[in-house]
A = this chain, B = another copy of it.
Amino acid sequence: MARTSYTLEDVARAAGVSPSTVSRVINGTARVRPGKLKAVLEAIERLGYQPNLMAKGLAQGKSLTVGVMVQEIASPFYGEMIKGIEQGFDGTLYHPVFSTGHWRAEQEREALRVLSARQIDALIVLDGLVSEEYLLGLARKMPLVLFGRRVRGLEHNTLLVDNLQGAYLGTRHLVELGHTQIVHIAGPAFHLDAKSRLEGYRKALEEAGIPFEPERVIEGDYVEPSGMLAVESLLARRIPFTAIFAANDQMAYGARLALYRRGIRVPEDVSLVGFDDLPGSSYMTPPLTTVRQPTLELGREAARAVLLMLEGQPYEPPLFNTRLIVRESTAMLRHSRVALPGRWS
């Protein structure tokens, strides 16, 4: 295993100039005589020289690396965001480095520790439970972009989605189809999004003059099994319903399976609405009506925000809107098929 790669000095020697000149050519830091410029460029080409980013980082006190703390790397939702973040850094000198928190404050801190040891220049935090003080402390040290949390003092670093409006749209869609017995499978109570979506559901009901009943809200944890359990619980408690609004698509998938197991048809017997519009939702059987959240764009915007902050430019985060995607899991309520608890349990 000979020398693994060339150094700036090698290039300088090959081009017959000083290392500083080579550096200047590479970074465009200063003008150099055309002749030398050409010689340097050729030498770089010929040797296949690649700058060592660690050395560059050491010298400049930068790492050209942006840390991303994500909760789960293999979830369809975060997957899209990660993809967006990657795209956002594409073509720049910066590169994202990921670390996972698994929704546990302790692991999140560990993840952040790992990232900071790598001298990240900026940080993107997707959801999580780590304390606000901790985040505020980080924000003092480097550009920080937050998603899914609201922290006082970090308003300008936070990407917001109008979850309340989205949930309102989803629920109103069911109301417009004639449904009145609409249950809600909510997300975890400590989750900001979940709270907003519950509010949106409530708002749509109230607007339609349908009484809000707490027993019609089941709290899940944003993954499939909880959606399934929610439906089973509803059925076991003989709570009648003709429509379900799930706080995210994954729980809607779970709910859909529970209904299938009981022979309850979607959408003939029960209409189902999700939230997120995951890539798989258009392939659910039947394709899922859901509230689209611009996940990919959110990731791209997070990267864009970081890049701007890194340049010292001001950043004003936009409010992201959601939109209803009507597919085939929702249908007009037909009275002959209203859910009869007795029939299902």
Contact = CB atoms under 8 A, between A and B. Distances in A.
Interface string A302-341: 0000000000000000000000000000000000000000
A72 B87 CA distance: 12
A53 B117 contact: yes
A73 B63 contact: no
Contacts of A100: 86
Interface string A70-104: 00111110011011001000000001011110000
Interface in A50-75: 50-55, 57-58, 63, 72-75
A169 to B, nearest CB: 25
Contacts of A54: 54, 57-58, 63, 118-119
A79 B97 CA distance: 15
Interface string A94-116: 01011110000000000001101
A82 B86 contact: no
Interface string A168-190: 00000000000000000000000
Contacts of A55: 58
Interface string A275-287: 0000110011111
Interface stretch (A150-158, A191-199, A251-259): A251-259
Nearest to A279: B74
A141 interface: yes
A46 interface: no
A98 B99 CA distance: 11
A285 B283 contact: no
Nearest to A119: B54
Contacts of A284: 285
Contacts of A256: 283, 285
A287 to B, nearest CB: 7
A331 to B, nearest CB: 15
A140 B284 CA distance: 46
A6 interface: no
B118 A95 contact: yes
Interface string A16-56: 00000000000000000000000000000000001111110
Interface in A237-258: 253-254, 256-257
A224 interface: yes
B253 A283 contact: yes
A74 B295 CA distance: 12
A254 B284 CA distance: 9
Given A1-B141, A53-B119, A54-B119, 8 more contacts: A50-B113, A50-B116, A72-B83, A74-B79, A95-B114, A224-B280, A254-B283, A257-B285
Interface of A: 1, 4-5, 50-55, 57-58, 63, 72-76, 79-80, 82-83, 86, 95, 97-100, 113-114, 116-119, 140-142, 224, 253-254, 256-257, 260, 279-280, 283-287
